[in-house]
């Protein structure tokens, strides 16, 4: 019995001593130290790589500038930011954080004092129009726009040819026309037209943006679902894709990628950031092309939309001026950086003066020599600007449930009416 | 008839075993495959295991994440065992008027989900950082401190103490042992099973803990294994081979702890006390 006591005591002692020694190096490194600017971002191959590239450019002229990039999943970053900001201490917060455009307003409006106004550091008019709404609030400009989520309809030209279609037949069409062609192709060749995840209707977002509206009214707070024609049409079409038997069903990211890598689908309607995943299957080189995304069959809808995309924000803590200057002279104004972002990372920025550069005109052999970047940019300029508001993901969660009931036989009117009621009850205005 | 019964019992058990073992099998097979093969659902072991391992160890600081996870899990477990056993013993052995009320309040704290405690807890550590940065935000101690004991373990020890023969305490007192001496020399040695069971649960909880380390840890050098695994899947083009390799590595310690202490664990959970 003595042995137990001794073992526990010694164990504790050893751990305590080693704890003290490891405590030293963990200590004192935080964002409160303004000599090192910290940044939170997700995806090592995309956003983090872009930040590193920007750092390279910046340190050429600003010796001694140090950027510490902390890589986390997007959901993890959201969780951390929410906890840190709502605790009100600003402790351990980064100087720079990447936030998805859909979520930006929920942070800016909930914690207006937590972010640093960048209006005087760069000119937002240099950026694509649709990036302004999400990144600004109450007259202040808080985000430096980064990548575009401009969408396209990726098409398998060989499958189309087999069924007697050309990519032109699918250019500038409506989603209803898309379904008709899909049914015909399914009948002729047995191939699914598109892949859909019934539990993650993120397609609804790019569908309704073609009509220039969102799930909330202009104020970004009041739910606008049951009387919103675009939402109604999008839900109807999203359901029809599955009901008509032209959609291959995926359940998560990996099965979504597998659907086109394995050649199971004719088309992918998605943001341009999917390109690396499409090109990952090298055996399909030359068999893909990209055309504008279908539009909703409502008045004023265009064949251009956005899915995802994010921007950089500076937190209102020591080091904010340094962080703001870094962002302003890189992502905010450096044309050369944007050329490198395209060629080295495949990231398409939204900084308009850089878009005429050579890097943006390259043709891509994987897509049969199509200048895909230039095409994406053309469509990007047509993306209708909308206010993503504060509740995008909360409303999506409500819609998932109601769409399921609609699928099970509830009328579309009732489903949308109930979604509207739930949103009004749940969302804080 | 009897044989038929046995056959069906085994059939059902085999199906249940297959269902619970399949994820582990999938994990081990995927560790040996390329990302593309995994997304296409390959169930055949591949040859990519060394590439996955070297990708993981070269590009990510697995070593320091393992160290941090061990450090947190071991210290939190040891502290938890000491404090909870003292508390459980005290609640059961000593008489006091308010003890049942205090115990009820303690048990009620088990009903509060951690998500509700997170923001105030973060605020608390934010304030601690101002005075003692060594145990504040973004330190391993900040991960450990909220878990050094929980109402569940106090309850667990109190329940098991009920089985403990109180005559031994009297005997100890008559022989002249101090109260703390009775606790360490008589009580603890007879509670090995309970200690082992509580130790396993605490170790696993701390090893797998995700939400609290996620918000309180910020520097990459302080991150734990669950945070590392979460990061691996964060990109637009995740490498599933590397992710599964990391998951296997993260599973080994808990599996080892469990298998080593399995015998005590079963006895401890059923509440047996060695005299």
Between A26 and A328, the more confident residue is A328
Split at pLDDT 50, 70, 90, the class of B131 is: confident
Interface ipTM: 0.77
Do A196 and A329 lie in one domain? The reply is no
pLDDT tens digit sequence for A307-332:
989 999 999 999 999 999 999 999 99
| β strands within A301-384, DSSP E | 310-314
**Residue B122 is nearest to which of A84, A261, A276, comparing CB atoms?**
A84
Six-digit token string for A105: 């307003």
Tell me the DSSP string of A172-228.
Answer: T-BHHHHHHHHHHHHHHH--BSEEE-TT--THHHHHHHTTT--SB-TTSSSB--TT-
Do A183 and A143 lie in one domain? The reply is no
Enumerate the residues of chain B whose CB falls inside 8 A of the CB of residue A253: 238
Do A284 and A392 lie in one domain? The reply is yes
What pLDDT does residue B109 have? 87
Question: CB of A52 within 8 Å of any CB in chain B?
Answer: no
Least Cα separation, residue B134 to chain A (angstroms):
6
Do A126 and A266 lie in one domain? The reply is no
pLDDT tens digit sequence for A170-196:
999 999 999 999 999 999 999 999 999
Whether A30 is covered by a domain: the verdict is no
Do A296 and A273 lie in one domain? The reply is yes
Within 97-136 of A, beta carbons closer than 8 Å to B belong to none
**Residue A87 is nearest to which of B122, B140, B141, comparing CB atoms?**
B122
A1-10, A133-142, A207-216, B188-197, range with the lowest pLDDT: A1-10
* Mean pLDDT calculated for residue range A343-363: 90
pLDDT tens digit sequence for B81-108:
999 999 999 999 998 888 989 999 999 9
User: Is B114:B215 a contact under the CB 8 Å cutoff?
Assistant: no
* Mean pLDDT calculated for residue range B198-206: 92
Q: Hey, of A9, A83, A97, A114, which one would you mutate to test binding to chain B, going by the most B CBs within 10 A of its CB?
A: A83
Split at pLDDT 50, 70, 90, the class of B20 is: very high
pLDDT tens digit sequence for A202-217:
899 999 999 999 999 9
* Mean pLDDT calculated for residue range B120-125: 91
Three-state DSSP at A135 gives helix
Closest C-alpha among A53, A142, A68, A139 to residue A101: A142
Do A60 and A100 lie in one domain? The reply is yes
Q: Which residue ranges form the domains of chain B, and what is each CATH number?
A: 63-269 (1.10.3720.10)
Apex CA A396: angle with CA A80 and CA A270, to 5°? 90
- Domain enclosing residue A134, as ranges: 36-148+307-354
Residue A244's domain is classified under what CATH number? 3.40.190.10
- Chain B residue with CA closest to A45: the answer is B235
Number of domains chain A is built from:
2
Asked which of A297, A332, A354 is the last residue of a domain, the reply is: A354
pLDDT for A33 beyond 50: no
Question: CB of B168 within 8 Å of any CB in chain A?
Answer: no
Do A333 and A199 lie in one domain? The reply is no
Contact between chains at B36 and A71 (C-beta distance less than 8 A): no
- Alpha carbon distance A271, A258 (integer Å): 17
pLDDT for B260 beyond 50: yes
As beta bridge partners, residue A351 has: A127
Enumerate the residues of chain B whose CB falls inside 8 A of the CB of residue A28: 133
**Residue B188 is nearest to which of A4, A28, A261, comparing CB atoms?**
A4
Do A248 and A223 lie in one domain? The reply is yes
pLDDT tens digit sequence for A398-419:
999 999 999 999 999 999 999 9
Split at pLDDT 50, 70, 90, the class of A163 is: very high
What pLDDT does residue A13 have? 56
Split at pLDDT 50, 70, 90, the class of A151 is: very high
Whether A325 is covered by a domain: the verdict is yes
Enumerate the residues of chain B whose CB falls inside 8 A of the CB of residue A279: none
pLDDT tens digit sequence for A128-150:
999 999 999 999 999 999 999 99
pTM for this entry: 0.82
What pLDDT does residue A88 have? 83
């Amino acid at each position: 019995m003595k042995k137990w006591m001794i073992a526990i005591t010694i164990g504790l002692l050893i751990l305590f001593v080693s704890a003290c020694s490891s405590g030293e190096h963990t200590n004192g490194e935080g964002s409160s130290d303004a000599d090192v600017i910290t940044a939170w971002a997700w995806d090592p191959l995309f956003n983090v790589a872009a930040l590193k590239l920007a750092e390279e450019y910046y340190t050429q002229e600003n010796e001694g500038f140090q950027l510490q990039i902390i890589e986390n999943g997007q959901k993890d970053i959201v969780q951390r930011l929410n906890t840190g900001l709502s605790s009100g201490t600003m402790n351990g917060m980064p100087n720079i954080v990447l936030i998805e455009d859909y979520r930006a307003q929920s942070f800016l409006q909930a914690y207006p004092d937590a972010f640093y106004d960048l209006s005087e550091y760069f000119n937002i008019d240099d950026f694509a129009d649709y990036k302004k709404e999400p990144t600004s609030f109450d007259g202040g400009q808080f985000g430096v726009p980064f990548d575009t989520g401009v969408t396209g309809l990726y098409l398998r030209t060989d499958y189309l040819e087999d069924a007697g279609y050309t990519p032109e037949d699918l250019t500038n069409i409506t989603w209803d026309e898309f379904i008709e062609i899909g049914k015909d192709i399914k009948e002729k060749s047995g191939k699914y037209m598109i892949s859909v995840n019934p539990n993650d209707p993120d397609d609804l977002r790019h569908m309704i943006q073609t009509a220039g509206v969102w799930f909330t009214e202009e104020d970004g707070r009041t739910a606008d679902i049951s009387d919103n024609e675009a939402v109604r049409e999008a839900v109807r079409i999203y359901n029809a894709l599955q009901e008509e038997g032209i959609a291959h069903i995926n359940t998560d990211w990996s099965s979504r990628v597998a659907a086109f890598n394995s050649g199971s689908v004719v088309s992918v309607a998605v943001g341009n950031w999917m390109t690396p995943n499409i090109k990952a299957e090298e055996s399909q080189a030359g068999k893909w092309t990209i055309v504008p995304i279908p539009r909703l069959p409502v008045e004023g809808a265009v064949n251009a939309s956005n899915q995802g995309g994010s921007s950089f924000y500076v937190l209102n803590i020591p080091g904010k001026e340094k962080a703001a200057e870094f962002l302003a002279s890189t992502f905010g104004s450096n044309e050369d950086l944007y050329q490198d972002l395209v060629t080295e990372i495949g990231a398409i920025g939204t900084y308009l003066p850089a878009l005429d550069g050579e890097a943006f005109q390259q043709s891509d052999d994987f897509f049969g020599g199509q200048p895909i970047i230039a095409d994406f940019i053309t469509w990007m300029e047509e993306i209708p600007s909308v206010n993503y508001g504060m509740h995008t993901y909360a409303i999506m969660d409500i819609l998932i449930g109601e769409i399921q009931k609609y699928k099970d036989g509830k009328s579309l009117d009732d489903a949308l009416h109930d979604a509207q009621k739930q949103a009004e009850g749940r969302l804080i205005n | 008839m009897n044989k038929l019964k046995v056959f069906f019992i085994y059939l059902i058990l085999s199906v249940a075993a297959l269902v619970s073992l399949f994820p582990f099998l999938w994990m081990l097979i995927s560790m040996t495959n390329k990302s593309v093969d995994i997304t296409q659902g390959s169930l055949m072991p591949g040859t990519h295991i060394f590439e996955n391992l070297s990708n993981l160890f070269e590009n990510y600081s697995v070593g320091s994440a393992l160290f941090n996870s061990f450090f947190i899990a071991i210290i939190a477990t040891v502290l938890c065992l000491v404090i909870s056993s003292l508390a459980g013993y005290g609640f059961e052995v000593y008489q006091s008027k308010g003890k049942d009320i205090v115990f009820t309040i303690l048990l009620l704290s088990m009903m509060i989900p951690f998500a509700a405690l997170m923001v105030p807890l973060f605020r608390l550590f934010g304030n601690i950082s101002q005075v003692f940065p060594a145990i504040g935000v973004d330190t391993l101690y900040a991960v450990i401190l909220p878990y050094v004991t929980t109402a569940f373990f106090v309850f667990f020890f109190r329940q098991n103490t009920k089985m403990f023969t109180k005559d031994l305490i009297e005997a100890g007192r008559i022989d002249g042992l101090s109260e703390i001496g009775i606790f360490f020399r008589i009580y603890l040695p007879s509670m090995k099973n309970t200690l082992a069971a509580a130790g396993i649960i605490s170790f696993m909880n701390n090893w797998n803990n995700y939400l609290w380390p996620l918000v309180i840890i910020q520097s990459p050098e302080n991150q734990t294994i669950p945070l590392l695994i979460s990061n691996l899947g964060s990109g637009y083009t995740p490498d599933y081979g590397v992710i599964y390799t990391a998951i296997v590595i993260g599973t080994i310690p808990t599996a080892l702890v469990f298998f080593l202490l399995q015998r005590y664990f079963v006895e401890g959970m059923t509440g047996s006390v060695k005299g």
